[in-house]
Every structure is written in structure tokens, then in C-alpha cells.
Structure 1
């Protein structure tokens, strides 16, 4: 199929404008509608996308029917991710949504079950996975033999204004999820437990905690250590953080902005190059289009993405309780909450059919590959 994928975008705020520009630059995508509660913002978004005559509305379902859209981009604030994505899936359309998958793990599990029930793709744009340097770093890590530990140091001082500065646990929920997701990608393992402390420095301009330190235990007893701050002016790291992996054969390093490298006991590592994955949201969008057109399951499909959000919830729970948190306990509690709050019989049926939540997320559903 060579015709551009017809999409409606929900959300025309700050991040929405970045997506609108990306959509406009992609010849494989055609923007056919913009949804926003603020119609002036929606109209401005259409103009930014290069066509002020693009239809706008506050009602997603109505605009889908009007435009004949084939897919939905959910670029709303996190609290709106669950209702917007669910509305699109129920309308029979695949969805590409901004991270996190939902405001809570329970909502994310419900959306995974909704994707199964509708047989439509829900892909989370974990955009920082779309970085060829990150892919190369994983290649270097693979050459280290048995892995003992992975560390990320993150230090930035952005003044966003808006909803981020009013969020609870702003660093862990809105930014650390990128590093947590990348750690899963690099280690090719999933987390088992976490101990975390978070705090807000006296000079912070955020309401919620803007600094955190966490130690995750991953499968095979590998440790992942995250040390981050969003109010650390001076000598800032890359937005991707500064990474170090330690293995039996040596060490791999990546500063987040340049090509990674590895030292195998004095010998430079030279892994095989990997194919390009594209760049951030442009790469994510291209992957989504390819998945919708071919039926392949993309990186970021909701079943594979939920564990990254679970790492965030577990870290927050640890910081608030002062104790080590077991990941499976978070998953099982979120699963029970999702079942309790779910009113859609088809989604509830899928949720209750799951045995182990970890196993359900690992295997996903064959139905989600039927994306046409």
C-alpha cells in the first residue's frame, strides 16, 4: 500500500506542535484532522501542518467519521491517554500515543486488554529508543560477556512551565521512564525489584520531586542504577543521560550525544553495525506506519511497553514507602485494580483471562498483529 496513512491527531499543545511538524514532513502520513478542547489551538495546529483547511473538532469520534481517518495519534497530557486511546480503539483505529501509555499501570493494562479485544494496535512512542547511538550502545554491551551492572546519570535544568512543573513525581514519571525503558532495551531483560529515594532540592521550581536515585535488580541478578535530577544547573548531561555498562570482558560507555565505545580489557570493542532505526518521534512515526501497513509488531507495542511504566510506579512506591518494591507485586495489584474498575465486558474478559501478568505482557496477543 503506497497511499499515505490518513491520521487524526489529538492534542495541539507544545508536544502536539512538534508532532504536527513531524507528520507534515513525513510523505507516508496525511493529517486529515486535529482534535483539541481548544479549537483555536487545533486551528493553529492545522496551519502549522501546512493546511489551515484541515478539519478540527473537540470530538474525536465525530472527526474520525467525518474524515475517514485510518489511525489516531494521541498527543495529549498523560491523564487523557486512557480515555483518548480507548475511544480510538473502540472506533476501530490503531493508535500511536505519547508516553507514558497511561497515567497508571492499571490503566495501561486495561489499554493492553482493549488492544486485544479490538484487535487493533496500540503503540507507545517511547521515542528515545529511536536513536542509532542507543542501538550501537546495546551492540557494545552485547560484547561485554556476562553483565554485572548498568548505570545512568542524568542532570538537566529545564524550565518548562505548564503541567510538568505541577506534576507529582515529575522526574520519575515524565523523564526517568525514558532511561528505564532504554535500560530494558540495552540489558534485554526485565526488572525484578527496586529501591528508590526521591526528593526536591530547596531551589527547585517544580512542585513534585525533581531528583531521584534508584537501584533496580533485573533478571539474572543484574543491577541498574539511575541517578537523576531535573533541577541540576551547570555541567548538564545529554538529554539521553550518561551511560556505563560493566561486564566480565570490559566496559561500554555512552555520553548520550556521541557514538558509544567499549574497552575490552584494553582492546577497543568493535561490534557489528545495526540498521538505522530513525530519529526520535520521526522514527517512532515511521515504525508505526510500517506496522499498520505490514502487520508487524513494532517496538513500543503496549504489551511490551507496560513494564517501563511499571518501573516508574514501583520506583515511586519505593520512594514513598521507604522499602524495596517487588515488580510483580505492582503488576498484580494494578491488574486487580484494572479488573475492578473495568466496565467494558470485552476488556474485562481479556483482563480476567490473563494468568501471570508478566507472562501476559511478554506474550501479548496474536490479535494485535492483525492491524489492517
Structure 2
């Protein structure tokens, strides 16, 4: 029997494109069960990957009958809490797709259940695992641009109405923003302390819900993070990874989300006329795999070593707090304070 017997919950696009293929590459893994409310989805994956496992519609039954010890939660976000909590209660560790859940309360249920059962719940944040993201994080932590004061990220992308995004009240916030919010924390190493957001649906939008918005976060080191987004922009698109400007006391880092990372730093300070600066490209020195593969590598290594993965739920809950605080802010049209309560985020009510 292999070390990890996996029950795959949710047999749609993400399972097919990333997760199942990755699992089958590993010598210590076998797919023990496929779980989906639509059995046809599971049948397609079973045939495509030539799997010998059983097909189920209930996660508890799947775990019990297959003797799975690890669950991949690839279901839609509205099902995450149920899948994760039931899997943890059945004695399984869980690797899951983002975002954690629909509310802070649901996400905290999952975090506390993992703690209570002494099991791991790791969340996919694949955009941390690129050479550029690692380069930015390392440059900032080295002090290259000094103390961080202002971080800006923009996403202006074309409409995608083929996905579940158009079913959401705030697709801009509820779907893709978690990636950018998590990257902001990853780059700077600090947590949010307040959020103010205005979400709206501009003229010409093809979305039902609010496809655009502006968010302002105060961070725990006194810096400010500003996020602008429009899903359905016509022309001059950014990448889905955002276009970044990170301003420190000694210089600025720029990244368009796809290409190389550039920095402009003080080379000679002048008392009256300002400072001379030097512009240069930051070299990528990270040698790990990128995207989903890199994140999954870290998850399995962490499980092997008995440690928390970089994207453990206890960390990811802070990125999710930025999503939830933004939703609360735009709903109540006010600034929301994000409090640290015993190491976990909570909001002023």
C-alpha cells in the first residue's frame, strides 16, 4: 500500500488539469477514490487517467471504503467547509483549492477542526510559486528597497463568463482577489489591520455581480496596500497575476505579472536635490517548480516532515480575512478593522 491514499473530491477542470496528473507522478501516492455529486465527471477522469478506484458521491463513505488518508478538495467554494470538516473528522489530512470558504466563520471552523484533530489542512496558493514572486519576496526581505511604505496591484482583464464567476455577487472579490491579497502578504511578510473597499459594476459590464472595485488595506507595519480590479476591461489588459508597484524608503520594485522584475534604487543620496537612482533587473535565483506543481511539492514535503506548509490554513486565513473584510466593507460602506484574536483574524462588528 502506498504512503498516501487520496480521495479526490470534485472531478472537474482543476482535478483534470493539475491535481490528478501530479498525484500520479509520485511514487508514494495512489488515487483511492473519486468523489463527485455528478458521477459522470468522475467516470470521465477515471477513464482518462486509467484509474482503478471506486466512484462515490459522499466523502465520508469514500474515505471509509477506500481507506483514504489524504483528501484533495477540488469542489466549488460553497462545498469546501463540508468536504474539509468531514474529511478531517474521518482522520484525513486535506489539500484544498482556494478560496477556503464563503465566510470567515466557515474558514475558522475548518482551521479549528484541523487543530482539534491534529491534522493538516493546506490551501493552494499557486501564485506564490513563481520565480518572479520568490525574487520579489527575497529582495524585500533583504532590505534592498528599505522599509515598505506603499504597495499597489492592478488587475484589468477580459470577461470570462464560462466559469462560475458570473454566479457570484462580487466576482472581483470572491474569485480572483485572494491570489493578489495573498501575494501582497507573501511579498511583504505582514498582515492586514484594516480594509476599505468599494465594489461596483461599471457600464458595459457583462457580469451580473460587481466586476470591479478598489480596496485599501492598512498593514501591520504601517504600510498601505491598494488594489484595483476590473474583470471585463476592454483594452490594455494586465495579466491575471496583477501589475505590481512596491515602493520602499530606498527604492521601488516593478513587475507586470508575467515578465522580469525590475528595481530602481537610491545610488547616491543628496540633501537638497533628492537622490540619484539606478535601475536594474532582479535576477531570478529560485530553482523550484512553479505554479500548482511548486505548491503541491511544498505540501507533500511538509506532510512528510511533519511541519506546516507555507500555505497552511493558519496562514491562509489571514489572506482570506482580506477578502471577507472587503466584502463586509463594501456591503456596509465603512472601514473594517481586522483584529488579531489569539493569532486568528476577527472583525470589529
TM-score by length of 1: 0.84
Change in 2 beyond 3 A, CA 1:241/1:272: closer
Note the C-alpha offset of 1:163: 2.4
Please say if residues 22 and 282 of structure 1, whose CA atoms lie closer than 8 Å, have aligned partners that are also in contact.
yes
Q: For structure 1, which runs of at least 5 residues remain unmatched after alignment? A: 329-355, 362-372
Matched, 1:216 2:227: no
Counterpart CA distance in 2 for 1:105 and 1:263 is 38
Note the C-alpha offset of 1:28: 4.7
Change in 2 beyond 3 A, CA 1:187/1:274: same
Change in 2 beyond 3 A, CA 1:147/1:293: same
Note the C-alpha offset of 1:238: 1.2
Matched, 1:135 2:134: yes
For the residue of structure 2 that corresponds to 1:327, the secondary structure is: strand
Aligned pairs for 1:11-22 (under 5 A) are 11-18=10-17, 19-22=19-22
For the residue of structure 2 that corresponds to 1:37, the secondary structure is: coil
Please say if residues 261 and 281 of structure 2, whose CA atoms lie closer than 8 Å, have aligned partners that are also in contact.
no
For the residue of structure 2 that corresponds to 1:258, the secondary structure is: coil
Counterpart CA distance in 1 for 2:198 and 2:314 is 28
Please say if residues 197 and 215 of structure 2, whose CA atoms lie closer than 8 Å, have aligned partners that are also in contact.
yes
Match of 1:196 in 2: 197
Counterpart CA distance in 1 for 2:26 and 2:130 is 18
For the residue of structure 1 that corresponds to 2:136, the secondary structure is: helix
Note the C-alpha offset of 1:11: 0.2
Note the C-alpha offset of 1:30: 2.3
Per-residue CA deviation, residues 208-266 of structure 1 (Å, 9 max, x unaligned), is 11111111110121010101111113221111011011111111011111221211133
Match of 1:295 among 301, 306, 322: 306
If each structure's strand is expressed as a fraction of its own residues, which one has the higher value? 2
Match of 1:91 in 2: 90
Please say if residues 321 and 338 of structure 2, whose CA atoms lie closer than 8 Å, have aligned partners that are also in contact.
yes
Note the C-alpha offset of 1:140: 2.5
Match of 1:39 in 2: 39
Note the C-alpha offset of 1:83: 0.5
For the residue of structure 2 that corresponds to 1:20, the secondary structure is: helix
For the residue of structure 1 that corresponds to 2:75, the secondary structure is: coil
Note the C-alpha offset of 1:268: 4.3
Aligned pairs for 1:43-62 (under 5 A) are 43-48=43-48, 50-62=49-61
Match of 1:148 in 2: 149
Please say if residues 122 and 313 of structure 2, whose CA atoms lie closer than 8 Å, have aligned partners that are also in contact.
yes
Match of 2:184 in 1: 183
Please say if residues 129 and 280 of structure 1, whose CA atoms lie closer than 8 Å, have aligned partners that are also in contact.
yes
Counterpart CA distance in 1 for 2:136 and 2:98 is 22
Matched pairs, number: 333
Per-residue CA deviation, residues 304-354 of structure 1 (Å, 9 max, x unaligned), is 1101111011111111222211112xxxxxxxxxxxxxxxxxxxxxxxxxx
Counterpart CA distance in 1 for 2:69 and 2:38 is 23
Note the C-alpha offset of 1:270: 7.5
Change in 2 beyond 3 A, CA 1:42/1:359: same
Please say if residues 97 and 124 of structure 2, whose CA atoms lie closer than 8 Å, have aligned partners that are also in contact.
yes
Structure of higher RCO (CA pairs closer than 8 Å, 6+ residues apart): 1
Match of 1:107 in 2: 106
Counterpart CA distance in 1 for 2:201 and 2:136 is 31
Matched, 1:237 2:248: no
For the residue of structure 2 that corresponds to 1:23, the secondary structure is: helix
For the residue of structure 1 that corresponds to 2:334, the secondary structure is: coil
Change in 2 beyond 3 A, CA 1:239/1:293: same
Please say if residues 318 and 344 of structure 2, whose CA atoms lie closer than 8 Å, have aligned partners that are also in contact.
no
After superposition, the CA RMSD in angstroms is 2.1
Matched, 1:163 2:164: yes
TM-score by length of 2: 0.89
Matched, 1:65 2:64: yes
Note the C-alpha offset of 1:122: 0.5
Q: For structure 2, which runs of at least 5 residues remain unmatched after alignment? A: 267-276
Match of 1:314 in 2: 325
Please say if residues 169 and 210 of structure 2, whose CA atoms lie closer than 8 Å, have aligned partners that are also in contact.
yes
Note the C-alpha offset of 1:27: 4.5
Please say if residues 262 and 282 of structure 2, whose CA atoms lie closer than 8 Å, have aligned partners that are also in contact.
no
Note the C-alpha offset of 1:283: 1.6
Match of 1:259 in 2: 260
Counterpart CA distance in 2 for 1:235 and 1:213 is 18
Please say if residues 263 and 282 of structure 2, whose CA atoms lie closer than 8 Å, have aligned partners that are also in contact.
no
